[in-house]
Amino acid sequence: MKERIALITGATSGIGKAAAMSLAKQGFVVIIHGRSEEKTQRVGDEIRMATGNNKIDTVVANLFLLGEVRKMAATLKQKYDRLDVLINNAGGVMNKKRETTVEGLETTLAVNLLAPFLLTGLLLDLLKKSPDGRVINVSSNSHKLNAKPNFGDLQLENGYDPLRAYGNAKLFLIWVTQRLAGMLKKYGISNVTVNTLHPGAVATNFGVDSNLGGFLNLASKLARPFFKTTEQGADTLVFLASSNEVKGISGRYFVNRRQATVADKYFTTENENLIWAYCEKQTGISVSDLIVGS
């Protein structure tokens, strides 16, 4: 059997790094993504040393920018003819003040929703060449706690709040994952599955640099000693990437290795279709064309 190839975004720290370490120990070819060339190379070397696995590759891109997502995908497609696992882990809570990227997108939506949507679409042809292709999107329980979407103002130009923006993006990520699972089934693509998960509250640098406001900054700091370790937080990620128990399961949401329920307060087929169309418009791709393409 060929060595399995896994790409993990946001893999230079936190649960992404822990997942990379675990999959490297299992003998995967692991492609580590980061934003900093120096740090990404350093983490790659660290994983090689710790695991004895020399098949650790690195790729650098700023996933806040869709242009860089496209370049990253093109680089990977030149280098690899197959991808077995795509873990869309990169993301984060932004600052109290609303910000946009140079491409004009609200930053939370750009990195937590549009980047994984685009990267998955562009790498679908590589995943389709795997006998067991798996896409794993890191969502959050924030989709239940903080989401309050305004479908006429998806980028929250009015009523912006960092936790609301994050909850919305993670809710939308679940919806597009469910929709993609259905489309793959519709077109007879049974060898590629897509799922989401909530890793739990993990003691990482996630959100540490975000200015959420005085009270939330303090509350987050006080709660950190009670959070999961990075290894514990990465457990479900690794499970979904490597376990035969979930082979063929698609369109589901996992917590602690178990299938869990998704908040349905805002869900309608119309809203899901709206989010899907929005993602296709912003990223400039037609996923159905990519599914049926070569």
The CATH number given to whatever domain includes residue 114 is 3.40.50.720
- The amino acid at residue 96 is K
159 sits in which H/E element: none
Q: Is the pLDDT of residue 80 over 50?
A: yes
Q: What is the pLDDT of residue 293?
A: 77
- Closest C-alpha to 10, from 267, 167, 146, 199: 199
Q: Is the pLDDT of residue 267 over 90?
A: yes
Catalytic hit among 80, 160, 166, 187? 166
Q: What is the pLDDT of residue 214?
A: 52
List the structure tokens of 70: 């496209």
Q: Is the pLDDT of residue 33 over 60?
A: yes
| 283 Rama sector, left if φ>0, alpha if ψ -120 to 50, beta otherwise | alpha
Q: pTM for the whole thing?
A: 0.91
Q: What is the pLDDT of residue 224?
A: 40
Instruction: State the chain's mean pLDDT as an integer.
Output: 91
Q: What is the rounded average pLDDT of the residues 161-186?
A: 97
Exposed (0-12), middle (13-18) or buried (19+): which is 141, by Cβ within 10 Å? middle
Task: Report pLDDT digits (tens) over 204-214.
Answer: 444 445 455 45
d(C-alpha 195, C-alpha 135), whole Å:
6
Band the pLDDT of 292: cuts 50, 70, 90: confident
Range of the domain at 89: 5-292
Task: Report pLDDT digits (tens) over 145-173.
Answer: 999 999 999 999 999 999 999 999 999 99
66-79 helix and 115-122 helix, angle to the nearest 10 degrees: 30
Band the pLDDT of 203: cuts 50, 70, 90: low
Task: Report pLDDT digits (tens) over 102-152.
Answer: 999 999 999 999 999 999 999 999 999 999 999 999 999 999 999 999 999
Domain count, the chain: 1
Strands 258-260 vs 253-255: parallel, antiparallel or unpaired: antiparallel
Is 253 marked active-site?
no
**Percent above pLDDT 70 for the chain:** 90
Band the pLDDT of 60: cuts 50, 70, 90: very high
Task: Report pLDDT digits (tens) over 218-259.
Answer: 444 434 444 568 788 789 999 999 999 999 999 999 999 999
Q: What is the rounded average pLDDT of the residues 27-33?
A: 98
Q: Is the pLDDT of residue 26 over 70?
A: yes
Q: What is the pLDDT of residue 2?
A: 77
Q: What is the rounded average pLDDT of the residues 30-35?
A: 98
d(C-alpha 229, C-alpha 231), whole Å:
5
